[in-house]
Structure 1
Amino acid sequence: MIDSRATGTVSSEESLLRDIRDLARPLVSETDLEPLVERARSARFIAIGEASHGTHEYYSWRAALSRRLIEDGRIDWIGVEGDWPDCWRIDRWVRGLDPSARDARAVLASFSRWPTWMWANSDVADFLDWLREWNDQRPPASRVGFYGLDIYSLWDSLDRIIGWVQQNAPDALPEAMHAWQCFVPYGEDPQRYAWSTRMVPESCENDVVELLARVRREAAHDGDDAFDAEQNAEVATGAERYYRAMVRADRLSWNVRDIHMVDTIDRLAKHFGEKSRGIVWEHNTHVGDARATDMRGAGMVNVGQLLRERHASDGVLLIGFAGQRGSVIAAPAWGERERVLPVPESRPGSHEDLLYRALDGPSVLVFPTERRRPWLAATLDHRAIGVVYDPARERGNYVPTVMGARYDALIWFDQTEALVPLSHEPSTPGPEYETEPTGF
């Protein structure tokens, strides 16, 4: 018997297995994604997750689903768990605004912040090459953009702001340089800056807030360059707040980051217009509604939850991924070189374990409107692998999850393989703290 804590009932294991079999459809070719494409037609925001940042099947099938959604109807933008300046260069290329790079691999070579394999890998490169070709066949107003939602690029964003201000609003240069000079003593090291604010209660917060206000005023006119400048100012403001929160040893920094990402999604939706539609690529821990996990009890929110709360009337579709065993690209510690690591079979009694025993192979499970069903209502462990991973410590990689409340659909694989990175990480530690979850 398995305790279904979400409903206070006790379900037999066989009833859970029957429920999974009833919901699942085999995933053999891209045509098997059609039930998801049909469900997405009523959604303005389609968030597609991944159960790790280093699994080929998650990336390749997410790309396949995104292609089908773009081909099926109007998709205006894709927002990913990446830095705004890096992804802005990708956006320029995929929309034909920067012809300097010959292919996506050349564009992705500019990614330098660890972990580069999250985006500089063969699956992303193949998708971006396809997207560039798709966009080339369409008028500029109908081309699909590619944008970073994340918060880490403090120094890159400040640099982009200064460049824009010099060309477009030279009167605002003093504010921009004042904000830059505030951070200079820390040598582009966010840890040094964050710890300094804990030791001495002085920060650069006022400087970046004033810069944001000025850039907002100067960039009030329409246009991509002005939009880029304003978003970089938002990143600088959010990143400063994030790094200060990060050293407090609480989970406020997680909320700062995910709220920033959803605010960026809202700005993209506004930029493209009230009828625009977008796709979001993030880890399951961001995409799946936090209220269906133990994150809720810890006071944490995430992208999926906030999208549902802010945009229920617009239509939100949350799609998760899961796998049983195989291999993954990850690092043994934060900032270290990536490795191909084994993914052992899932824990007994977990969602992955039941899916493996119920199904014969890769499957798509689209959840019905009524979710008071045995498996969908059961609280069971659900695996989440971050960029740092130790296969010998699997217990810390599971998040108690009510599957039917966390997602609207799930894509399942019994066997997975590691991503193929375009280049290898340097062996020196990176500058960031670990922020990707390996389980809560």
Structure 2
Amino acid sequence: MSRTILVLGAGIVGVSCALALQQRGFAVTLLDRKEPGRETSYGNAGVIGRSSLVPLNNPGLYAKLPGYLGNRHPALHLDWRRALTSPGWMLRFLWEGRASQAAARIAAMDGLTATAVTRHRALMQQAGISHRLRETGTLKLWRSEAGLASARAEQELLKAHGIESEILDRQGISALEPSLNPIFPTGLFIAANGSFDSPGAVTAGYAALFVARGGTLIREEVGSLRREGALWRIQTAQRMYEASDVVIALGPWSADLLRPLGLDPKLDVERGYHRHFAAGDGARLSRPVYDVDAAYFMTPMEEGYRVTSGVDLSLRDAPDQLRQIESVTQSAREAFPLGGMLGKTWRGARPTLPDSLPMIGAAPGHQGLWLAFGNQHLGFSTGPMTGELLAALLNGEAPPIDPKPYAPGRYIR
């Protein structure tokens, strides 16, 4: 019997998996409750982060915790109900950030992001959406003179991984982005990073490429998943589907399908928000900028200038908590002449595992069940390689990178 594959989840990770599997000759069906790229993959800074090597839970986090726990810093909001609901997960997340693990996790992130811009460039050309790619780099900014030491340390780390960057003073920042207000004494320009003008449209464009190449795209919500004989059976409200292999790429909803199978992937979520704004007369940015001290990205998008918030550690489906996005909106106005808000505040959830690395590979003890989730807030940076690695493992090929750091068996026994 030929292998038929059903990929559950049409965000950037699921679509990347579907394309990579399709390229290997498999009959692939892509299924999601919404149109491609309309959930987690819609709401982000639109950055292809070649420089995104250091996980959020790194050794430097420990010193920052006291300043975060009072819910006064824009980088983090912690709902104590969430902390009390899953204290083991929170402790594991902190434990994974210890110094002895840092080098291995940075190397694992490097493996996922090293070819991200190149892979996106090729996919966008094939999908006919190259106009959505900007290769103008990103600009990281500090508001205090103390930021110079941080910029130098990051520059050294990036250089060790073959990534060039340039430290800028106030005049250098103004030369690169004249519309920024001169409140930043230090910046770090990273030319290797790319960005999109519409992450949701890019994901939709990749899904359209998948369909144009003969793939099947279905918009239905999965109700249940079970194995019967040699096949997996996937029940939606409309019908039953069968496949020899199933790929779970449902991001923050992945664990909902796995728990009934007796699998606990140790998956939790970070929530995030964004708003779009018009720009003041004549003001413009040529690339995404990240304000380190105020904890927001500001990115020129098709919909306007997108301002993103820090991490909201509330329960996945809890009501909106707008403290952070209100704070960063004010900070962004200090940095750039934003005009009126366009549309509504967006909120989404990002799938996070305790070590901040995705889970990619076969589910232990469940033949034909494959996992591809946990890409946190870096789905566009890590999605294409996640798809390639998953497809290679499923097809029995030599993997393009070492699969061990992402193996599901590190959390699922």
Question: TM-score, normalised on structure 2?
Answer: 0.24
Q: Which has the higher strand share?
A: 2
Q: Which has the higher helix share?
A: 1
Question: TM-score, normalised on structure 1?
Answer: 0.23
